[in-house]
Amino acid sequence: MKILQIMCHPDYNGEHRVSNILAKIGEEKLVEKGFSSVEKINLYDPSVHIPVMDKFMFNYEEEKLTEKEQHDKIRQKEILNQWKSTDAVFIYMPLHNFNVVSKFKDYIDNIVIVNETFKCEVESLIGLDDSDKQITFVITSGGEFDKHIQYTNLDFAVQYVRGIFGVLGIDKIKVLRVEGLDLAFNDKEQIVKKAIVDLKAWIEEFSRKNKK
């Protein structure tokens, strides 16, 4: 089984970041459970190029693209192939202004491609991705969604992730919220400890379901 770990923290190598700590622990747990093939992509690492889409490059012949666009098209194919060949995905992300971080949106624009991962029919979009693909979305946030009433209407990030992967035909989405990390009255250490326990427990379950 091939697993892709997508790290989305703008402080891409900040070792104190909860998102990065959980990604490391998640990877170690997967390896411990016998999943040896964990590929990683760290979206904000300057050495990782995520093309920013301004046209549907798949629809253009090479000669109609600029040199930069030709490079981007090759890179987009790499990103898309990596995504398509993956059986399970672990995403680690901080919540920024109630939404997914911008490089993750750029990443999505490289994999949500008509006739590659979904197709359009008259009144609906049909997912072409592997419907068995399991997505795990670990989202850290400063505030708490079940305590602040305003947050209910601003819960875009999780909705977006569920919605966009739904377009691809994927509905196996496990969400792990790590909330309230920046609230002065909370014990951050305890929240992180609980998140580690929850993540490890989920990987145990994931492992039982996916052992071949």
Ligand X SMILES: Cc1cc2nc3c(=O)[nH]c(=O)nc-3n(C[C@H](O)[C@H](O)[C@H](O)COP(=O)(O)O)c2cc1C
Residues 175-194 touching ligand X, rule: CB under 6 A, are 181-182
CB of 43 to ligand X, least distance (A): 14
Only one of the segments 50-58, 93-101, 127-135, 197-205 lies at the binding site for ligand X (rule: CB under 6 A); that segment is 93-101
Half-sphere exposure of 184 (CA within 13 A, CB side): 0
Q: How far is CA 91 from CA 52, 61, 115, 137, in A?
A: 20, 33, 24, 5
Q: What CA–CA distance (Å, rounded) separates 124 from 88?
A: 25
CB of 186 to ligand X, least distance (A): 12
Question: CA nearest 104: which of 37, 17, 41, 20?
Answer: 41
Q: How far is CA 209 from CA 184, 203, 204, in A?
A: 39, 10, 9
Binding mask 55-84 for ligand X (x = CB under 6 A): ------------------------------
Amino acid letter, 69: E
CB of 197 to ligand X, least distance (A): 17
Binding mask 105-144 for ligand X (x = CB under 6 A): -----------------------------------xxxx-
Binding to ligand X by residue 18, rule CB under 6 A? yes
Binding to ligand X by residue 95, rule CB under 6 A? yes
Range list of H helices, 33-136: 67-84, 102-111
CB of 163 to ligand X, least distance (A): 19
- In the list 4, 5, 7, 19, the residue contacting ligand X (rule: CB under 6 A) is 19
> Which run of H or of E encompasses 150?
helix 149-152
Residues near ligand X (CB under 6 A): 9, 17-19, 94-98, 140-143, 181-182
